[in-house]
Amino acid sequence: MAVSLRRATTNDHFCGGSIVNTEWILTAAHCVVNTAPSSIIVVAATTTLNSGGKSYPVSQVITHWNYLASDSWRNDIALLKLSTRIIFDSFQQPIPLAKPGQFIPKDTAVRASGWGYISMWGTVNLIDLRMVDLETMSNSYCQSLHNSAIYPSQICAYGGTGKGVCNKENGGPLVVDGTLVGIFSWGQPCSAADCPHARSAVIVGWGGVVGTPPHHRSCSQVPGSVQATACIAAEEVNPHLRGGRVENHLGKTTPVHPTEIRISISPSSAVELNTTSALANYATEAAVPVAQEESNGAVIPAVEESRVVGGKNASVGEFPYIVSIRRTSNNVHFCGGFIYSPVWVVTAVHCVLGRVLTDITVVAGATNLNEGGESYGVIRRINHRQYLATDSWRNDISLLRLDRSIIYDSQKINIPLAVPQQTLHHGVPVVASGWGYTDSARFNRPNTLQTITLQVVSNDYCQAKHTRPIYPIHLCAYGGEGYGVCNEKPPPVHPTEIRTSISPSSAVELNTIRALANYATEAGQGDSGGPLVFGGRVIGIVSWGDPCALGVPDVYVRVSEFIDWINENAVD
């Protein structure tokens, strides 16, 4: 019933899954989100990665419509439709699904399986399918051990005394008495001393597979590894590119997203393990040019404001990674940003260039500008040394070092960066969020965080709409036909707030309505410096756009082009 999901071009295993019937495979949404069906191969009927098995191309990927990576990876479930049907035999069979309303009590014996590395450092590949016996724990106990929210649609499991989840086989099965009750979703690596703190989440109960009843867990989550003498553990790859949590050599934790089950022989002490893995991780990071800090004496460039006209209010905690950047002197919001690690925030250079550090305050955990949130001072700023405002604001990315660490909770937590060399096709839906005016005439400015769904457009299309150059390091998005960014002043501009509005039949009418009323839903830019998100990862940073140009895309910093720069510079 277990299958291996592999990359069609390289045959590399990247996630697990389970056979539902002759043409459908169940896996985790985060494994396949933003992945073309043609790039995935499902291999069944094998327990060994380097031989045997039967391969099936994928014709369709369906991820849960309400998958929320930013909120504990809720609804982390997806279906893959095969191009050819599986002919069942003794080596490939479907697994019965959990029944609607089925309750899995704590201390239930469950079994997880998957492929991965046989060392914490990923030096030796695990070729054969491995299994591990775990026990479930109550969600309330699980919640007490973790910063991220644990929902009824998730179930936690661990390896018993002296064992814990070091991470997954994402998308793989969690089984009770021959029934599929869970899908590997995410987990927190652990040391031998705190293994009971490990957790994972799985969701079964969507798309007609299994109905998820209220107040019951019909899905479950599994630790991708158990750490004992020999343990399945997640390799501590760059902690900023993953999703559970990983201990670094400073003893602090940052979110990670497990993608493979790892097995490792545990060193004699947790300290030795954490130190070794952290140092090995840093040793493999790519070198990049050292960034330079800007002088506090520089002239502060004007930051023009655009907005989300008609954008809907965000729910409390819906975007826990976004921050409001304000003037310390008057507490006025002027730009957005996002949390990269407990002490580093990412924003746009044009937002902070030349500003006195003592007059910059970062507020995290707030949905409303007038209340809530926690304020942090800024003690260091690193602007990209090749930032060129005169050339389409190239390299418009900056790092802010906070004066103390953010303590993660449901209202404030970091967001994983884009996948390196990630390709986003024309028309892919993305989400922007920010604070700003709700009308072009600046009559109304909401205090509540606004959010809007936009669409990615190709750089070629974007270039055809702009007079300034669009470079590969740029990413463009807009709100569909008849939509565009509205700014207060002629270009060059730097949008600082997102807006939306339904497009009337003519540009003249549209501009008139924008100026006179909050006529909703055109996609404007999103708070300068703020995040553009796809699949639970930040893919763009709001940079610039043209004012009130009907159908003209907005321009963002393409985060996938700056991952090395961020990782190299956001260190103490």
Of 30, 350, 384, 474, the active-site residue reads 350
Specify the pTM.
0.46
- Is the pLDDT assigned to residue 558 strictly greater than 60? yes
Q: 429-559: which CATH number, 2.60.40.420, 3.20.20.70, 3.30.70.360, 2.40.10.10?
A: 2.40.10.10
* Residue 396 is a catalytic residue: yes
In the predicted model, what is the mean pLDDT of residues 240-248?
32
Q: How far is CA 457 from CA 44, 209, 308, 430, in A?
A: 37, 34, 19, 11
Q: Is the pLDDT of residue 493 over 80?
A: no
Sign of torsion, CA 234 227 415 71? positive
43-99, pLDDT tens digit by residue?
Answer: 998 887 878 889 999 999 998 877 887 777 888 899 999 999 999 888 888 988 887
Q: Identify the CATH homologous superfamily for domain 109-283.
A: Trypsin-like serine proteases (2.40.10.10)
Q: Which residues contact 467 (CB under 8 A, 6 or more apart)?
A: none
CA 262, CA 225: separation in Å to the nearest integer?
6
Helix (H, G, I), strand (E, B) or coil at 67: coil
> What is d(CA 429, CA 535) in angstroms, rounded to the nearest whole number?
10
Beta bridge partners of 475: 556
Query: Given this chain, do its domains 2-82 and 429-559 carry the same CATH topology?
Result: yes
Strand 333-341 and strand 344-347: pairing?
A: antiparallel
Q: pLDDT at position 470, please?
A: 93
More confident call, 539 vs 513: 539
Question: In sequence order, what are the beta bridge partners of 264?
Answer: 231
Exposure string (b/e) for 217-229, b if CB count within 10 Å is 16 or more?
bbbbbbbbbbbbe
| Confidence label for 111 from pLDDT (cuts 50, 70 and 90) | confident
Do the Cβ atoms of 419 and 408 come closer than 8 Å? Answer: no
DSSP-assigned states of every residue in 279-340: HHHHHTSPP-PPPBPPPTTSPPPP---B--TTPEEPPTTSSTTEEEEEETTT--EEEEEEEE
Most confident residue range from 94-108, 326-340, 493-507: 326-340
Q: 133: closest CA among 105, 115, 157?
A: 157
Question: Mind listing the pLDDT tens digit for each residue in 277-287?
Answer: 322 232 222 22
Would the pLDDT of 329 be above 50? yes
- Could you tell me which residues are beta bridge partners of residue 133? 111
- The candidate with the shortest Cα–Cα distance to 13, out of 92, 115, 162, is 115
| Pairwise CA distance, residues 108 & 283, whole Å | 41
Q: How far is CA 235 from CA 50, 124, 241, 523, in A?
A: 21, 11, 12, 40
Domain ranges of the chain: 2-82, 109-283, 316-415+562-569, 429-559
Record: fold of 316-415+562-569: Thrombin, subunit H (2.40.10)
Mean per-residue pLDDT for 99-124? 69
Q: Which of 264, 277, 528, 543 is catalytic?
A: 528
C-beta of residue 375 within 8 angstroms of C-beta of residue 361: yes
Alpha-carbon 406 to chain mean position = 18
CA distance linking residue 223 with residue 554, whole number of Å: 41
Q: Is 564 a catalytic residue?
A: no
User: Which residues lie closer than 8 Å to 505 by C-beta, 6 or more apart?
Assistant: none
CA distances from 530 to 65, 195, 235 (A): 24, 36, 30
Query: What pLDDT is stored for residue 437 in this prediction?
Result: 53
What count of Cα atoms within 13 Å lies in the side-chain half-sphere of residue 447?
A: 9
Whether the per-residue pLDDT at 118 is higher than 50: the answer is no
Question: What fold, for 2-82?
Answer: Thrombin, subunit H (2.40.10)
**In angstroms, rounded to a whole number, what is the distance separating the alpha carbons of residues 520 and 503?**
8
Which of 169-183, 232-246, 414-428, 548-562 is least confident? 232-246
pLDDT, average across residues 490-496 = 39
What percent of the chain is predicted at pLDDT more than 70?
Answer: 63
Rounded-to-integer distance, Cα 543 and Cα 349, Å: 9
Beta bridge partners of 7: 40
Task: For 161, list phi and psi in degrees, rounded to 5.
Answer: -60, 130
| Sheet with strand 179-183: strands edge to edge | 156-158, 130-137, 109-114, 173-176, 179-183
d(CA 555, CA 491): 13
Q: Which residues pair with 292 in a beta bridge?
A: 383
Question: Residue 48 to residues 82, 202, 276, 451: CA-CA distances in angstroms?
Answer: 21, 25, 29, 45
How far is Cα 96 from Cα 19, in angstroms, rounded to an integer?
A: 9
- The pLDDT tens digits for 361-405 are 999 999 999 889 999 999 999 999 999 888 889 999 999 999 999
Buried/exposed code over 15-54 (b: 16+ C-beta within 10 A; e: otherwise)? bbbbbbeebbbbbbbbbbbbbebeebbbbbbbbebeeebb
pLDDT tens by residue, 203-217: 443 333 333 333 332
The one catalytic residue in 4, 220, 324, 396 is 396
Which DSSP category does 238 fall into? Answer: -
Indicate whether 562 pLDDT > 50: yes
